[in-house]
Amino acid sequence: MKHMIQKRLGLLVLISTLSGSVGATLAASQPNILWITSEDNSPYLGCYGDPLAETPHLDRLAAEGVRYRNAFANTPVCSSARTTLITGMYACSLGAHNHRSNVEIPDQFKLYPEHLRQAGYYCSNNSKTDYNLASKRNVWNESSNKAHYRNRTPGQPFFAVFNFTSSHESQVAPKGDKSGFRVSPDKVPLPPYHPDTPEIRQDWANYYDQMTLLDQQVGKVLGELEVDGLVDSTIVFYYGDHGGALPRGKRNIHDSGTRVPLIIRFPPNWAHLAPRAPGEWVDDLVSFVDLPATVLSLCDIPIPSNYEGQPFLGPRRASPRKHVFLFRGRMDERYDTVRAVRDRDFRYVRNYSPHRPWGQHYSYPFQVLPSMRSWYAEFVAGRCNTAQASYWKSKPAEEFYVIATDPFEIRNRIEAPDHREQIARLRLALRNQILATCDAGFIPEGMASQFAVTNTIFNYARSEAYPLERILDVADKASEGNPVNLPSLIVAMEDPHPVIRYWGVSGCLILKDKAGSAKQALHELLGDPWADVRVVAAESIVRLGGKDPALKTIARVLESGNLHEVIAAQNALDFLCHDGLVTLAEARALLRGSRLPEPGNRIPEYLHSRTAIP
């Protein structure tokens, strides 16, 4: 018996030794990866040239690493950006582009931590997830506010995420007991789209304080890496999850909402993977969808065929991008379909909901940001200049900006004759990108949830049931707001496919009173089988003077539609009330019968700017 015990102990020691040896060999052949992420911030850092920033730890990281001048979140809100990151695919390709949605994806699509774990990595996430995915897979070894690479097996390589919320929108406004700011509010240079008010200046000043706090938190994580003796074996990434938290940052597809800081430090053992020497800039375009593929490349792990990003580092490094693809869907409780492409010099934007302003009344930022409320008050009072007022008005169908001469993107050059070639090139690039990814964002959300009952939206969008090229043709004509397109829009309203009918009727809504000759066709669509079509037809009819039947249609959707159909109906009613076409009393009466979002479905309860139920 004693001999058998000794033999088993010897075997266990041998197994332990071999395991440690394998772990050490793996750790030596593959780098550790540390991701440090911050929320809602553009490159407001000293190392990016911001003179007001006090960010010594990030500045030091930049001096020891490389800075990317052209890094972009694909979408300007956290959940859609993080969905793109965790899947390695554009969220709109999966139909998961709408903020705080719950979308099923094909079972065979593994999220990037699953691939890393399969290759032997310990994967920890501290601690935000916020993915627009219905299936909550256990993809991390540990995901909590206590998650840490220190909990791995000794010698095991790690991939670790530390996410900080100090710069999040919810932290922008100074708290009631705050007595001073590091940067005096009157010293903050405001962007030209912001009016000069005390509230806006205070939010900006406090934001810089929060960035300094964030820098201190980053310094703590980097210090732990030094204490643990892991600096020489760890590639460190730092980036923001999308653009800045102040109004016209987050939720907006311009640089202020999508361009982010990205710093990567390569230790000496892995210096051969660096694209430039320490302290230098990298001008290559980087897109969030590229980050998972890049990590797998750095770790010498095969990149899954379904991943839509291209690695910009490592042995599988691809050629630099010519442009990045950007998208926007529902933000909070407001719908707005926008697509864009950005190269190093220009941005081209296609607004598929030009009848809705950039600055819709999102309940959450209006609650937490004095700057948002102040800006809107200035607009209502008529004290905004053209650049400031445009945020609250309907949008052009297309936008084109020359970044070098217009970094704040306030001068739309879409009609500029000297840029016709660049506009045509980017317009075609955007169309090709939409088609190549089988972009599911042209399906109204209420409709999409029903298409997905027997399949995923991803698979539906790649089937013959989704004629995207025809849909895109109608959506392009609809968004132009040109009366010459009305006959073709009326034809589209009679199409057997509900998505084509939706974009045909949306074109009438965008035309408003110029769609008079479509009135009969619009009335027929009040009986359409699909609520998303009925809601748009109803709003259009009210704008043409046919209130009673249209409001009854909206009322029925409010009472019995699915969650997203109800939100679409609430939006229609709110804009009709805002424009004086429905009285406050009428709107409140209809809303009292509305099916409000159920608790726990992750979509904020709809709050109306003027029609809140008392």
Catalytic residues: 78
> Helix 420-436 to helix 468-480 angle, to the nearest 10 degrees?
140
Q: Where are the alpha helices (DSSP H) in 363-403?
A: 363-368, 370-380, 386-389
**Around Cβ 410, how many Cβ atoms within 10 Å?**
17
Q: Write the Ramachandran bin of 251: left for phi over 0, alpha for psi from -120 to 50, otherwise beta.
A: left
**If residue 158 lies in a helix (H) or strand (E), which one and from where to where?**
strand 158-164
Measured in degrees and rounded to the nearest 5, phi and psi for residue 586 equal -65, -45
The token pair at 463 is 């089937």
**What are residue 600's phi and psi, to 5 degrees?**
90, 0
Beta carbons of 124 and 140 less than 8 angstroms apart: yes
3-state class (DSSP) for residue 265: strand
Distance CA 321, CA 312 (A): 9
Q: How far apart are CA 93 and CA 459, in angstroms?
A: 10
For the record, the structure tokens of 589 come out as 């009466």
Question: Can you tell me which residue has the tokens 């948002």?
Answer: 372
User: In sequence order, which ranges of 390-530 are alpha helices (DSSP H)?
Assistant: 420-436, 445-451, 457-461, 468-480, 486-492, 498-511, 519-524
Instruction: Provide the token pair at 541.
Output: 């009819």
**3 state SS of 164:** strand
Report how far apart the first and last C-alpha atoms of the chain are (Å, whole number).
81
Question: Would strands 324-328 and 338-342 be described as parallel, antiparallel, or unpaired?
Answer: antiparallel
DSSP 573: H
Query: Do 242 and 75 contact (CB within 8 A), yes or no?
Result: yes
Q: Between vectors from CA 330 to CA 246 and to CA 328, what angle results, nearest 5°?
A: 70
Q: For Cα atoms 117, 120, 124, give the angle at the middle one, nearest 5 degrees.
A: 50
What are the C-alpha distances in Å from 14 to residues 5, 17, 20, 21, 383?
14, 5, 10, 10, 78
- Lookup result for tokens 């094909």: 106
Q: Which two tokens stand for residue 321?
A: 């991008």
Give CA separation, 9 vs 3, 143, 488, in Å.
10, 34, 81
Those residues with Cβ within 8 angstroms of residue 572's Cβ, 6 or more apart along the chain or in another chain: 535, 536, 538, 539, 554
Contact status, residue 195 vs residue 359, Cβ threshold 8 Å:
no
